[in-house]
Structure 1
Amino acid sequence: MTFPTVPAAFDAVAEAGPEAVALDSAAGRLTYAQLRARSDVLAAALRRRGVGRGVVVGVHLGRSFDSVITSLAVLKAGGGYLPLSPEYPPSRLAMLLADAGAPFVVADQAAAWAGEAGRPVITLASLRSGPADEVRPAPGHPDDVAYVMYTSGSTGTPKGVLVTHGNIVQLVRDQEYLRFEPGETFLHLSPTAFDASTFEIWGALLSGARLLLAPPGRETLADLPELLRRRGVTAMFLTTPLFHELIDRDPAALDSVRQVLIGGEPMSVERARRLAGRRADRPDGEVANVYGPTETTTFATAFPLRELDASDRSVPIGRPLRHTHVYMLGDDGAPASEGEIYIGGAGVARGYLGRPAQTAERFLADPFAGVPGARMYRSGDLGRRRPDGAIEFLGRADSQIKIRGFRIEPVEVEEALLSHPGVREAAVVPVPVPDGVRLAAYVVVSALGDQVTPRGLVAYLRDVVPAYMIPSWFVTVGGLPRTVTGKLDRLRLPTLDEADLPRLSGDSGEDDEPSAAEQHLIRIWKSVLGLDSVTVDDDFFSLGGDSLRILRVLAEVEAAGLGLTLTQLFEHTTIRELAASAG
């Protein structure tokens, strides 16, 4: 049966199985009946505050029961939700809320960043204090906006993608790439502001399955396999870098999970074969490499790893999902076996919020669908269709890159650097590394830039952009190379081998022998980061560290008995600070 909206589909599932477990975590459980009742109370309160069709509500709650309940309540009230990561700096939260036109943001408590957000912060406690009105889903249409998800923008400003109810419903109902059934247990591991959470949350709740929430914060690589086994997870999504780390550390980690989707970045063929080999005798499960831009609602294609051939040199991104069409078009716009990837079908979003020109540039009429009004999305990705119909990913046609599954336009990082008073010019480029891609920033300092240091730029960017957008290297140059037309000539930027890469070493002048704890941490950092030399004042993230490597550091720290938490590792990014916090 086809449902027009997410609340209509959810309520039908809740009526069919009211006592089934909907939400599960270490803190407790909620049945479908309880989830329905609690979301109704919040929906009534949101309506009293003016939420209705076309109104976007910020949700700043992280991965939690409250986040799921509030998002469902916003949809029941007729509005769309804007997921906001607790890791975003206040200035970015303010910019997203203003761009989305959100009248307010829902949080679990009055937040310290509220004054900078430029929007009222409504606490859950205040919403729950009103009368428990009976609520049925507001009359809605499949084309109504369900949520706004922001991606990095080519103009230096993030773009809000308008994803509809129909987009969500088609992703998780009447599909074949995964079994969406009441007996499944989906793991909610992704950040709420990452579009994989769409698959996790609504894949479970629109099929009568159980949604298991991973603990708040970042799950450690050491803890994740035990969580999967102990809590009976049967369906999950992993970003490609996390899958690589997991399969390297614990090849049996995913053995207990029947259905696994992996995506976000190109997959290692060797690791894919290793996982497929472990599951060769499991006809009841599926492991697939998936692909899809946010603009086409999370996934557009899937490739079962069991189809890998011994001659394959890369892992294909697969074939289109049901209700999805994928075209390879040449420069002349005609179908070709190799070309730019265009995606049509029921997953294509409405467009970009408040950006008609960019919407017109990327969301085009679909001349191949044979359906009046059909549209397709120009992805900017390049692909090749194999004789068996599977698509191979060939890279980007523009400067866009992906880091840990997040799409990044380097120009957005450049704009953030240029907002620093000591930076006159900036260029940010991707640097391939064995386990993915990192960013390098070339900066030209201004007359006010005598004190500009890599460490200072890292600290500045942490207040402006998400952590995954902070470059790993900073190179100070006298000027940026230009073409004869005055445009940046990225090909003439100094290579990292030629550049005198500044280390983020401290300038305290202290030459004391590192303490025992500092020596332990130095050894761990050198091992995890693959460096020959690390000082107590080096910054972890500017040495090339990221959230996956910090999980490896945590595992080594726990094994050494140093008594440091993941929160401390993120808050104290030098060995000197870390050792002091452990003291």
Structure 2
Amino acid sequence: MGEHFEGVATAFERRVRLHPDKIAIRDPRGSATFDEVWSESNRVAAALRARGVERGSAVGILGVGSRDSIVAMLGSWIVGAHVVPLAPEHPVDRISGTVSAASVRLVVETDAYTLPSGVAPAHERLRQLVEQGQPADQETVPADLADATAYVLFTSGSTGVPKGVCVPQGALCALALRDSPTRLSADDTFLVHTTLTFDPSMLEIWSALLVGAGVLCAPGSGLSLRSTADLLGDDRVTVAVLTPAVFALMVERYPQAIAGLRRLIVGGDIMPVGQARAAKSLCPDVDIVNCYGPTENTVISTAFRLQEWDGTGDAVPIGVAVAGATAHVVDADFRPTAPGVVGELVLGGDRLADGYLQDPATTHARFIPDPFSSLPGARLYRTGDRAARRADGVLEFHGRADLEVKVRGVRVNLTEVESAVGSDPAVAEVVAVPVGSGHERRVVAFVRAADDVDGPDAKGIRTRVAERVPAYLVPDHITFVEEFPLTGSSKVDRDALADRVGVLEHGDGTPQEPSTEDLAAFWLRRTGSDPRAGESFFDAGGNSLDLIRFIDDVGATYGIELGFEDVYGVASFDELRQLVIAAAGERRDG
């Protein structure tokens, strides 16, 4: 393996020796030095060992990015166990399914989060582990943990079942420590605001701490756009990562929030070219890096600095392979394509994941021997993405070749959406298709209703699906059909279905007075439909990013700030209107 391919605890301990009293973590509960984090992590490791956790064990971590969750991760890695992040906002069935699929031995509850009832394994509060752990005086970190699994993250699966990606500790260290456009300096502070179940959170936390930089942890995840802007504008924050969807909104609404950063990393989907040009103009001193990389290649595979872009063309390049990764564009016979010719993008290097948890068949199909390398055991990962290499070696992204798409920064397999919707008793058949592109992409489920259903109810289906799966697997729209169009080979014609929908666009008008008519115009603009009695924002066609836009519209127009969680829970336009009126009244009275 290459340089810096080592265990996470080994790399962190080196930083503790260099600057034990430096602040490593700031979160809503306070701050902790590198030495304090190391001490607490060793106590957690001792407590885990006492509970039978050992190398190869799976430890669930329930929470968000914080001092508690970071200590839980590091303590697990000292033992040689791997962590399985669990999102508190996920439905109980999803959490339970993840715990079962990963054979989690123990769930560590961090901060104020508690394991939902009905989830089977043992669970412990992080702070109790810190208090009870008694590490040996001369205890040292094993030197052979580079190949041990660091974390298992579950991504959308082609069989309709999420697949667990197993990433080794050495790959995470190599990403953090090797020279690349995303490597931090010890003087940086990285904003931690991504949910732990998505791998950018690992970049936020460990690319900072392993080089001696600090992290500032947000108070939870799923923040409003304004709250995110406030955090980005914190004088202590120098580096942040945003999905292209949030990046686009930030450039449109709060460009000053990112103007003070040293570096902004954008990844997880296609960077919107218009906002990229605007950011390059509005924030000329910010090192904006467009990144590409699947979870199977440890967060980042390629990177491209906007400083090197002339702003022409209809897409922002994804750059060149970084931090020990390799990238090849091949044709159907696995031969390198000529410059400018689109082919399949395959990735290599020592930062590849070990494979998929308990799924040797899929691992064998996606992780293959590397014919371009002379190193023994070298592998390639078949991404399913299409790309072209320019004459100068820079890569350009050309979309996916299969049913896996990025929707609002989250990788979603349409088969999994179909599996979730198809399990509803009111559904006989379902086909899910993406519509739109980039940060405006949505998923529409075309449904043939079950024969015994009297009056199919799209709202009811979406509501029931949302009770069982995470929000990103709930289709944005459900459209009923009598039958599906077919191609000449008798397969469902997904393109024909997508053409029935078209691309949903939003208007540009901004109402100026707080009235029912103005709020209805906001609603129409952000959901694509007029308000209807008893229909929620999401039933009307909106999604979480549209809701962020709606909240920001209200704030910019009326001078009031609505809480995302408060607005998220309203059941109808009338309830939302009353919420806005009440907030406006509080502002006047205040």
Q: Normalized against structure 1, the TM-score is what?
A: 0.91
Deviation at 1:94, TM superposition (A): 1.1
Q: 1:348 to 1:43 in 2, by over 3 A?
A: same
Q: Secondary structure at the match of 2:32?
A: strand
Deviation at 1:457, TM superposition (A): 1.3
Read off the aligned partner of 1:572 and give its amino acid letter: V
Matched, 1:200 2:204: yes
- After superposition, give the CA deviation of every residue in 1:2-55 in whole Å (9 maximum; x if it has no partner): 362001101111111111110013431111111111111111111111211111
Equivalent of 2:520 in 501, 519, 522 = 522
Matched, 1:442 2:428: no
Runs of 5+ in structure 1 lacking a partner?
A: 502-515
Deviation at 1:315, TM superposition (A): 0.5
Write the mapping of 1:218-229 to structure 2, written as runs, cut at 5 A.
218-229=222-233
Equivalent of 1:368 in 368, 372, 379 = 372
Q: Does structure 2 conserve the Cα–Cα contact (< 8 Å) formed by 1:428 and 1:442?
A: yes
Matched, 1:556 2:558: no
Q: Secondary structure at the match of 1:178?
A: coil
Matched, 1:214 2:218: yes
- After superposition, give the CA deviation of every residue in 1:364-395 in whole Å (9 maximum; x if it has no partner): 11111210100110000011000111100011
Q: Does structure 1 conserve the Cα–Cα contact (< 8 Å) formed by 2:153 and 2:199?
A: yes
Matched, 1:565 2:563: yes
Q: Does structure 1 conserve the Cα–Cα contact (< 8 Å) formed by 2:431 and 2:446?
A: yes
Which stretch shifts more, 445-454 or 332-341? 445-454
Matched, 1:392 2:396: yes
- After superposition, give the CA deviation of every residue in 1:174-231 in whole Å (9 maximum; x if it has no partner): 2221342211111112111111111111011101101011222333322333333333
Matched, 1:185 2:185: no
Aligned to 2:415: 411
Q: Does structure 2 conserve the Cα–Cα contact (< 8 Å) formed by 1:114 and 1:120?
A: no
Matched, 1:150 2:147: no
Read off the aligned partner of 1:123 and give its amino acid letter: R
Aligned to 2:118: 116
Deviation at 1:276, TM superposition (A): 1.9
Equivalent of 2:80 in 78, 81, 87 = 78
Matched, 1:535 2:532: yes
Read off the aligned partner of 2:553 and give its amino acid letter: E
Aligned to 1:512: none
Aligned to 1:64: 66
Q: 1:476 to 1:207 in 2, by over 3 A?
A: same
Q: Does structure 2 conserve the Cα–Cα contact (< 8 Å) formed by 1:59 and 1:84?
A: yes
| Alpha-carbon distance in 1 for matches of 2:45, 2:157 | 32
Aligned to 1:488: 492
Runs of 5+ in structure 2 lacking a partner?
A: 505-513, 583-590
Question: Share of identical aligned residues, percent?
Answer: 34
- After superposition, give the CA deviation of every residue in 1:80-100 in whole Å (9 maximum; x if it has no partner): 001111121111111111111
Matched length: 564
Q: 1:427 to 1:4 in 2, by over 3 A?
A: same
Deviation at 1:278, TM superposition (A): 3.6
Q: Secondary structure at the match of 2:281?
A: helix
Aligned to 1:255: 259
Read off the aligned partner of 1:85 and give its amino acid letter: A
| Alpha-carbon distance in 1 for matches of 2:450, 2:115 | 30
Matched, 1:335 2:336: yes
- After superposition, give the CA deviation of every residue in 1:222-270 in whole Å (9 maximum; x if it has no partner): 2333333333211111100111010011233211101111112212222
Aligned to 1:509: none
- After superposition, give the CA deviation of every residue in 1:485-507 in whole Å (9 maximum; x if it has no partner): 764342443743599x9xxxxxx
| Alpha-carbon distance in 2 for matches of 1:201, 1:230 | 17
Q: 1:195 to 1:388 in 2, by over 3 A?
A: same
Equivalent of 1:347 in 326, 346, 351 = 351
> RMSD in angstroms over aligned alpha carbons?
2.5
Aligned to 2:511: none
| Alpha-carbon distance in 1 for matches of 2:195, 2:502 | 38
Q: Secondary structure at the match of 1:360?
A: helix
Aligned to 2:245: 241
Q: Secondary structure at the match of 1:68?
A: helix
Read off the aligned partner of 1:97 and give its amino acid letter: V
Which stretch shifts more, 71-80 or 426-435? 426-435
Read off the aligned partner of 1:290 and give its amino acid letter: C
Q: Does structure 1 conserve the Cα–Cα contact (< 8 Å) formed by 2:356 and 2:363?
A: yes
Matched, 1:289 2:286: no
| Alpha-carbon distance in 2 for matches of 1:343, 1:303 | 16
Aligned to 2:42: 40
| Alpha-carbon distance in 2 for matches of 1:311, 1:129 | 58
| Alpha-carbon distance in 1 for matches of 2:213, 2:35 | 13
Q: Does structure 2 conserve the Cα–Cα contact (< 8 Å) formed by 1:44 and 1:132?
A: yes
Which stretch shifts more, 414-423 or 356-365? 414-423
| Alpha-carbon distance in 1 for matches of 2:263, 2:367 | 32
Q: Does structure 1 conserve the Cα–Cα contact (< 8 Å) formed by 2:408 and 2:439?
A: no
Aligned to 1:546: 543
Aligned to 1:91: 93
Matched, 1:167 2:171: yes
Q: Normalized against structure 2, the TM-score is what?
A: 0.90
Deviation at 1:273, TM superposition (A): 2.0
Q: 1:433 to 1:172 in 2, by over 3 A?
A: closer
Aligned to 2:586: none
Equivalent of 1:420 in 420, 424, 433 = 424
Q: Does structure 1 conserve the Cα–Cα contact (< 8 Å) formed by 2:188 and 2:213?
A: yes
